[in-house]
C-alpha cells in the first residue's frame, strides 16, 4: 500500500509492506494522532545523590497492544515505519521535557540507523532546529544510541557522531555488554557516557564475574574519560557494591548550633580486595578555622569508613608547610608515613606532600563530636 506519512514532509510518499494490515493501520493512526506519551527515568550521581539527568522513555496508548515500546517498534519495523515512529518519539520526549522544565540533561534515544540517515543533505538538522525552537540547549541533550540490529559501517557512524558533536550534542551508548557490537561502538565512537546492561548489575553483589566485568568497564571508562551509568539497580546490596567501585563519599560539615556550613570532607579512592582503604581530603571556611570543626569531621568520617564501610585503612596527605593540617591529622590519630615528591597538582603546579595513614580501629571514636554534624 502507499502511505503518506503524517510526520515526514507531505510531498514525500513511501511504499509500505503490510504483513499485519490491522496493526499497521493502528500504528498509522497513532502516528497521525500523535498518541505517544513520555516518561522520564532519573539518573542519579551516586557520589552526591543528586539527579543529574533524565532518560526519555516512550509509551503508546494505554489501551493499545502497542503500549509497550517493544511492541511499538516491532510493529514499526514490520510496517517500514521506523523512521516516522522514531521522529515522533523524539518530538514527544523533547516537548514534554521542555514542558516539565526538568533540570539537568536529557538522554534522547536514537537508533544508529537514524543517526546516519541524511534528509535533504542535512543530517540531524530537524532535531537541532526543533530543540532550539522549544528552548532546550543542545549541550543538555545526549544522543543515546540504542541498537536493534548490527552496526557494520563504523566509518559512517564516526562521521555522524562528529556531526552531532559539532552541533553541541554529547553521545551515550546504551546496554553495554548486551546486543550486537556495543564494545566495538565504544572503541570507535568514544562516547561521553556508557550504560551498563542490567544483566551485569542485578546480582552483582553475589557474582564475582559480573563484578569483574563492571570493574573492568570502569577502568576503561577512566582511561577514555567516559562516565558509566548502571541500569537496573533494584537492591541495596547491589547499590553498595557499585557505590564502592572507585567512587567518593563527599560530605558537607555543618555546625549543629545554627546549621552554618563550616567546610567539607571527602572520602575517595575507595579500594577493596587486598587493600580495603580510602583517602580523605577536606577544606574549612576561613571564619570557622581552628575551632575544632574539621577535626571532628575527620574523626566522624574515619569512623564511618571503619564501621560502616568496613575499611582497614584511611590515608591523607598535605603539603609540608601546612602546619595546621599536619597537627590536625596527628590529633585525629594519623601517623606520618613518608614524603612524596610531586604528589598532587595544586593550582596548576605539582607539589610535594607529606603522607599520613590511620589503621582501624581508630582510637577515641567514642569522643563527642563537639557540636558538628556531617
pLDDT at 233: 87
More confident residue, 313 or 248: 313
Report, as an integer, the average pLDDT of 109-113. Answer: 84
Res 366: pLDDT: 41
Find the CATH number of the domain harbouring 327: 3.40.630.30
**What is the average per-residue pLDDT within 336-351?**
90
Which of 243, 264, 298 terminates a domain? The answer is 243
- 239/293 same-domain check: no
Residue 254's pLDDT is 92
- With both helix axes pointing from N to C terminus, report the angle between 323-331 and 293-303 in degrees, rounded to the nearest 10: 50
> Where is pLDDT greater, at 327 or 368?
327
Percent of the chain with pLDDT over 70: 84
**223 plus 310 within the same structural domain:** no
For 211, the enclosing helix (H) or strand (E) is helix 208-224
Query: How is residue 62 written as a grid cell?
Result: 494505554
- Maximum Cα–Cα distance for the chain, whole Å? 82
Question: Strand 170-176 relative to strand 141-145: parallel, antiparallel, unpaired?
Answer: parallel
C-alpha span between 280 and 355 (Å, rounded): 11
Span of 66-80, 260-274, 300-314, 341-355 with lowest mean pLDDT = 260-274
| Average pLDDT estimate for 216-231 | 88
The residue out of 200, 225, 243 marking a domain boundary is 243
Helix then strand count (H, E) for the chain reads 11, 16
Q: Look at residue 6 in the predicted model and tell me its pLDDT.
A: 47
As a whole number of angstroms, the distance between CA 163 and CA 169 comes to 9
Using a cut of 0.85, tell me whether the model's pTM lies above it.
Answer: no
- Picking from 197, 212, 243, the residue at the C-terminal end of a domain is 243
Quick one: pLDDT at residue 371? Answer: 36
The least confident of 208-217, 246-255, 274-283 is 246-255
Do 303 and 269 sit in the same domain of this protein? Answer: yes
Mean per-residue pLDDT over the chain, rounded: 83
The C-alpha cell of 184 is what?
566495538
β-partners of residue 2 are 15
| pLDDT digits 0-9 by tens, 128-138 | 778 888 889 99
Amino acid at each position: 500500500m502507499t502511505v503518506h506519512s503524517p510526520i515526514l514532509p507531505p510531498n514525500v510518499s513511501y511504499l509500505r509492506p503490510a504483513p499485519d494490515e490491522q496493526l499497521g493501520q493502528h500504528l498509522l493512526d497513532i502516528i497521525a494522532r500523535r498518541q505517544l506519551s513520555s516518561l522520564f527515568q532519573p539518573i542519579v550521581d551516586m557520589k552526591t545523590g543528586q539527579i543529574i539527568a533524565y532518560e526519555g522513555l516512550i509509551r503508546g496508548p494505554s489501551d493499545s497492544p502497542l503500549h509497550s515500546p517493544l511492541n511499538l517498534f516491532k510493529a514499526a519495523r514490520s510496517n517500514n515505519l521506523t523512521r516516522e515512529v522514531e521522529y515522533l518519539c523524539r518530538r514527544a520526549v523533547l516537548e514534554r521535557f521542555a514542558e516539565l522544565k526538568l533540570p539537568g540533561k536529557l538522554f534522547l534515544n536514537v537508533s544508529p540507523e537514524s543517526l546516519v540517515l541524511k534528509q535533504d543533505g542535512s543530517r540531524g538538522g530537524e532535531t537541532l532546529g526543533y530543540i532550539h525552537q522549544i528552548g532546550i540547549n543542545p549541550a543538555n541533550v545526549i544522543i543515546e544510541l540504542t541498537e536493534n540490529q548490527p552496526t557494520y559501517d563504523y566509518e559512517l557512524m564516526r562521521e555522524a557522531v562528529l556531526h552531532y558533536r559539532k552541533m553541541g550534542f554529547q553521545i551515550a551508548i546504551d546496554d553495554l555488554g548486551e546486543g550486537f557490537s556495543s564494545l566495538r561502538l565504544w572503541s570507535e565512537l568514544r562516547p561521553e557516557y556508557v550504560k551498563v546492561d542490567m544483566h551485569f548489575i542485578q546480582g552483582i553483589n553475589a557474582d564475582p564475574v559480573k563484578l569483574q566485568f563492571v570493574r573492568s568497564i570502569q577502568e576503561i571508562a577512566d582511561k577514555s574519560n567516559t562516565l558509566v551509568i548502571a541500569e537496573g539497580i533494584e537492591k541495596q546490596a547491589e547499590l553498595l557494591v557499585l557505590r564502592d567501585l572507585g567512587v567518593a563519599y563527599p560530605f558537607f560539615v555543618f555546625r549543629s548550633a545554627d546549621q552554618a556550613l563550616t567546610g567539607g570532607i571527602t572520602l575517595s579512592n575507595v579500594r577493596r580486595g587486598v587493600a580495603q582503604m580510602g583517602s580523605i581530603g577536606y577544606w574549612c571556611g576561613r571564619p570557622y578555622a581552628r575551632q575544632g570543626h574539621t577535626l571532628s569531621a575527620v574523626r566522624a568520617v574515619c569512623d564511618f569508613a571503619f564501621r560502616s564501610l568496613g575499611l582497614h585503612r584511611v590515608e591523607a596527605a598535605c603539603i609540608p608547610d601546612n602546619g595546621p593540617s599536619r597537627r590536625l591529622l596527628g590529633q585525629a590519630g594519623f601517623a606520618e608515613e613518608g614524603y612524596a615528591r610531586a604528589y598532587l597538582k595544586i593550582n596548576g603546579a605539582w607539589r610535594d606532600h607529606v603522607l599520613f595513614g590511620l589503621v582501624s580501629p581508630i582510637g577515641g571514636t567514642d569522643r563527642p563530636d563537639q557540636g558538628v554534624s556531617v
